[in-house]
Chains A and B, each alone.
Chain A
Amino acid sequence: MDQKELRDWEAKCIQEEPPACRAGCPLSVDARAFALAMAKGDMDAARTILEKSMPLAAITARLCEAPCEQFCIRKDLGGAINLGLLERLCIRETQPKGKILRLPARPKKVAVLGSGPSSLAVAFDLAKKGYPVSVYHLEPAPGAWLRALPDAVLPAEILDEELRRLTALHVTFTAVPALDAALIAAHPADAVYVGQDDTIAPDLLAGLGSPDTLTFALDRPGWFTGGMGLTDHPYRFITAMSHGREAAVSMDRFLQGASLTSSRVALRHGSTALFTQTRDIAPLARVTPADAAGYTRPVALEEAGRCIDCQCLECVRHCVYLKENGGYPKSYARRVFNNSAIVQGARQANKFINSCSLCGQCETLCPNDFSMADMCLDARQQMVREKRMPPSAHWFALEEMRAAGSDQAALARHASGMVASAALFFPGCQLSGIRPAQTLRLYDRLLELDPQTGIWLDCCAAPAHWSGRAEEFAELAKKLETTWTDMGGPKVVTACSTCLKMFREHLPQLGAVSVWTVLAEEPVPAAAAHPALALSDPCTSRHDERTRKDVRTLLENMGQALAALPMSGELTECCGFGGLMDNANPALARKVAAARVAQSDADFLTYCAMCRDQLAKTGKPVLHILDLLFPEIAHPASEPPASISLRRVNRRMLKTAVLERYGQDGMPRQPWEDVRLQISESVAAVLEERRILEDDLRQVIFSCKENGRCFVHGDDGRRIASAELGEVTFWVEYREERDVFTVLKAWSHRMRIAGGRI
């Protein structure tokens, strides 16, 4: 990922966009954080938030007319949060926080004419930056129209206290009879601000002209003005403050010789791209204060408690993976970028990148279609290209894919007795591995519908794609295409949504359709009575409306009732298998599955073999649609998932069973297949967890018998054998008794013993 790609990704995620209130504040006060602090009763924290953005907070918080309230999302859900009155309470009840830090003094002089709010804002902002500011005000005292306000609104001592703070920032106040041209001629400065929210002499006003609307700069270099035309303005005070602030920004840039406009962020006036889901937010009426004095603490808490806390986080709310990592897509994009630092040598692998299930839910939920899947898959492909993908990340899944595509398990045949196929049934490697008998039965059903249906056992190569191995995937796709062409290029019928998605996206010429679509067109016997089941669509069916609909038609025709499952259809959730999540991050996959099954009390139903077994790992009863279609060979819903060893054996068995239909012998058994193992339940659990296949152990023991190499225990005759099988070295400790090998322990490692022998 390069800088530009990072910017593009970041731009899509709106989580850091300001909430409507902040976007509507001319001073960009973090009103959301303020309201949340008030809701917690933490008024000191609330004051700190105000002081962070407000010039002369003690005055501003008392007088601000709260334009933010026009934009508050609550306004249509019971009434905008009463931020104005909340500010008044906060400022009354707290003390100013901390010292105002002044930057080291700068040599440029600033003259401010007038002492209305806009002038005071200029003085405050520039004084903080270290400029010596001279404020010229009319007699008797600075403050302009603020001084005329009733004490209940702005007490005189507060105004004077804030003016004293300005003096502490080295602002000088000079009383003058008139704010006119002669004044400025007598007191030249490097930058001048004319505050028109005070009384400016006509001769000076006449010569000013109009300021630029963005920068408040006048034609005359170094001159700025603001505060004009506000006397009857509904947001008189805060707009004046805003003019002053914007002018101060311009004046600072001017005094430093920098451009007034480059990289300058314009006022938002309420505009923001932040999206907040309000569908499930109940309206809550505004809590009004008891009297004109304003809120009391407890009432204020209640009012502030109505704040929605506008966030987007749509994707994070629904995704265990995104929640787990404590961020959101924009921050994740930066994380992925940092991990691909542009430096000689290392771009490192990252569990984070490999843990995404690539399911696409976030993209569907995001108002801007941010796709973690696209980002993570890109990153994986880059890691593979640069040889930085940790070899063990996807090793097991890739081995499974290769085994499913090998001679031992793969085949493509026309129907027995036929020399051509109108359709070719592709059950997929997982269904074959988990439910071989049901797979055959499904094939038989298709044969009933069309006797010219061939059968094609193989893997669609999704693991190669998901692991970022684009080259390997392309090669496998080519092989699949060749097989298909050799079979006459018939329509391919898949039983797995992942295979279907892979074929549609990468081998569209196969014209793949879902077997459920084929079956939905035909009559189907009523299913055995099951109470309503929660139907979990596999994540790869997310954009396949047709198949999802056909599955439901099929179930309806079978008379199977469905229980509600909120995140369904286009919003469905991955079971943890997708994107090889279970391979790269089994702990996360467990959490994901657990969160999914918790979404309904009903038993689950799915039409994907991986979903069935992944969800069943949680202990929840899960049925596969084939259990309903073929009740005589149904598996119990509470059956635990098929072990990894069983899946390998099943695929071989399935191929043998198919070949038998053609009067052919099954594949010749490999010599090590006949090694007889005895494995207790506890040892089997260890093998499963360590991803060690019984086949691996057979091969190790077989090689040990062949070459005679093993270790023997001095006392009890236990033996230890090991063998390097591909990237991994397997070890097994066992007892041998009359041709039966009782496995006691098994372990593996990838590290090689260089130069030695095992």
Chain B
Amino acid sequence: MSLVFLPEDMNWSCEPCGVPLEPGKVELAYLGQVFHVELPVCPKCGAAFVYEELAQGRIFEVEQLLEDK
């Protein structure tokens, strides 16, 4: 059950590898819980892009939830 998160502007490339980012499978982990999602990823080196909207939105809410704040 993968959740796909892509920013509106996908026009980003990985500098060292010289290729554009593509949707790719990533594991996000916090406090022992693991989530399988799809994020923009460099197809060559696997570097993943956690864009601002995702970080400040869903990721923050999930962190708070898991922390039990």
A touches B in complex, CB < 8 A:
yes
A199 contacts chain B at the CB level, 8 A cutoff: no
Q: Contact: A708 with B15, CB < 8 Å?
A: yes
B47 to chain A, nearest CB (A): 5
Chain B contacts for A722, CB-based, 8 A: 50
Task: Name the one of A392, A720, A754, A758 contacting B12, with C-beta atoms under 8 angstroms.
Answer: A720
Write the nearest CB–CB distance from A690 to chain B, whole angstroms.
8
Q: Is B8 an interface residue (CB 8 A)?
A: no
> Would A393 and B69 count as touching, CB distance under 8 A?
yes
> Interface stretch among A225-233, A503-511, A741-749?
A741-749
**A486 part of interface (Cβ distance < 8 Å):** no
Q: Is the CB of A729 within 8 A of B50?
A: yes
B11 touches A709 (CB 8 A): no
CA distance A132 to B66 in the complex (A): 58
Q: Are A756 and B49 within 8 A (Cβ)? A: no
Residue B1 is within 8 A (CB to CB) of chain A in the complex:
no
For B56, the chain A residues whose CB sits under 8 A away are: 747
Asked if A388 is at the interface (CB within 8 A of a chain B CB), the reply is: yes
CB <8 Å contact, A752 and B29: yes
A731 to B49, CA, bound (A): 10
In the complex, what distance in Å separates the CA atom of A708 from the CA atom of B14?
10
> How long is the Cα–Cα vector from A749 to B39 in the complex, in angstroms?
15
Are B69 and A351 neighbours in the complex by a CB distance under 8 Å?
yes
Which residues of A have CB within 8 Å of B64?
A: 390, 392
From B16, B30, B52, B68, contact of A349 by CB (8 A): B68
| Cα distance A388–B69 in the bound complex, in angstroms | 10
Mask of A695-733 contacts with B, CB within 8 angstroms, 1/0: 000000000000011111111000110100000010101
Q: In the complex the two chains form, what is the Cα distance from A191 to B3 in whole Å?
A: 73
- Smallest Cβ-Cβ distance to B67: which chain A residue: A390
Distance in Å: Cβ of B59 to nearest Cβ of chain A = 5
Query: Which of A708, A713, A758 is B16 in contact with, Cβ under 8 Å?
Result: A708
B69 cross-chain contacts in A, Cβ below 8 A? 349, 351, 390, 392-393
A754 touches B28 (CB 8 A): yes
Please name the residue on chain A nearest to B34 by beta carbon.
A754
A351 to chain B, nearest CB (A): 5
Which residue of the partner chain, among B11, B27, B30, B63, contacts A756 with CB atoms under 8 Å? B27
| A390 contact set on B, CB distance < 8 A | 64, 67-69
**A713 in contact with B48 given A708-B16, A751-B30 (CB within 8 Å):** no
Closest to B10 in A: A714
> Is A753 engaged at the interface, CB distance under 8 Å to the other chain?
yes
Question: What mask results when residues 316 to 352 of chain A are scored 1 for a CB within 8 Å of chain B, else 0?
Answer: 0000000000000000000000000000001011110
A758 contacts B28, C-beta separation under 8 Å: no
Query: Are the CB atoms of A713 and B12 closer together than 8 Å?
Result: yes
**Measured CA separation A720–B54 after assembly (Å):** 15
For A99, what are the chain B residues with a Cβ–Cβ distance below 8 Å? Answer: none
Q: Are A709 and B27 in contact (CB under 8 A)?
A: no
A719 to B11 CA separation, bound complex (whole angstroms) = 11
Which chain B residues border A350 with CB–CB below 8 Å? 68
Q: How far is the CA of A351 from the CA of B55 in the complex (A)?
A: 22
* Interface 1/0 per residue, B4-26 and A, CB below 8 Å: 00000101111110001100001
B9 to chain A, nearest CB (A): 8
- B67 close to A391 (CB less than 8 A): yes
Q: Which residues of A contact B14 (CB under 8 A)?
A: 709, 711
Specify which chain B residues have a CB less than 8 angstroms from the CB of A756 in the assembled complex.
26-27, 41, 46-48
Task: Please report the C-alpha to C-alpha distance between residue A751 and residue B15 in the assembled complex, in whole angstroms.
Answer: 24
A447 to B56, CA, bound (A): 50
Taking the closest CB of chain B, its distance from the CB of A696, in whole angstroms, is 14
Decide if B27 touches A710 in the complex (CB within 8 Å).
Answer: no
Contacts of A104 in B (CB 8 A): none
Inter-chain contact B28/A712, CB cutoff 8 Å: no
**Are the C-beta atoms of A392 and B27 separated by less than 8 Å?**
no
Interface flag for A757 (CB, 8 Å): yes
- B20 and A757 contacting across the interface, CB-CB below 8 Å: no
Q: How far is the CA of A349 from the CA of B62 in the complex (A)?
A: 15
B25 and chain A: residue at smallest CB distance: A756
Instruction: From known contacts A710-B15, A754-B29, infer whether A749 and B63 are also in contact, taking CB-CB under 8 Å.
Output: yes
CA distance A752 to B55 in the complex (A): 11
Q: Which residues of A contact B30 (CB under 8 A)?
A: 750-752
Residue of B nearest to A709 (CB): B16
Q: Is A755 an interface residue when CB atoms closer than 8 A count as contact?
A: yes
Interface pair B63/A751, CB less than 8 Å apart: yes
Given A349-B69, A751-B30, check contact A758 B48 (CB 8 Å).
yes
Q: Which residue of A lies closest to B56 (CB)?
A: A747
Give the distance to chain B from A751, nearest Cβ to Cβ, in Å: 4
Q: Bound complex: CA of A419 vs CA of B47, how far in Å?
A: 55
Chain B residues with CB below 8 A from A349, complex form: 67-69
Contacts of A750 in B (CB 8 A): 30, 63
Query: Which A residues lie within 8 Å of B20 (CB)?
Result: 714
Contact B50 A757 (CB under 8 A): no
User: What is the bound-complex CA distance between A388 and B67, given in angstroms?
Assistant: 8
Beta-carbon contact of B41 and A712 below 8 Å = no
Instruction: Name the CB-closest residue of B to A750.
Output: B63
Establish whether residues B16 and A751, one from each chain, have CB atoms under 8 Å apart when the complex forms. no
Q: In chain A, what residue has the closest Cβ to B45?
A: A757
- Residues on A with C-beta less than 8 A from B16 are 708-709
Closest B residue by C-beta to A748: B55
The 8 Å CB contact of B47, one of A712, A729, A758, is A758
Are A752 and B47 neighbours in the complex by a CB distance under 8 Å? no
Binding site for A on B (CB under 8 A): 9, 11-16, 20-21, 26-31, 34, 41, 45-50, 52, 55-56, 59-60, 62-64, 67-69
Can you name 24 A-B residue pairings with CB atoms under 8 Å? A348-B68, A349-B67, A351-B69, A391-B67, A392-B63, A710-B15, A711-B14, A712-B15, A714-B11, A714-B12, A714-B13, A722-B50, A731-B52, A733-B52, A745-B52, A747-B52, A749-B63, A751-B29, A751-B30, A753-B26, A753-B29, A753-B48, A756-B41, A757-B47
Task: List 8 additional contacts besides A710-B15, A757-B48; criterion CB under 8 Å.
Answer: A391-B67, A713-B11, A714-B11, A714-B13, A747-B52, A747-B55, A748-B55, A751-B29
Nearest 9 Cβ contacts at the A-B interface: A390-B67, A714-B11, A754-B29, A754-B27, A749-B55, A348-B68, A751-B30, A711-B12, A747-B52
- Residues of A at under 8 Å CB distance from B? 346, 348-351, 388, 390-393, 708-715, 719-720, 722, 729, 731, 733, 745, 747-758
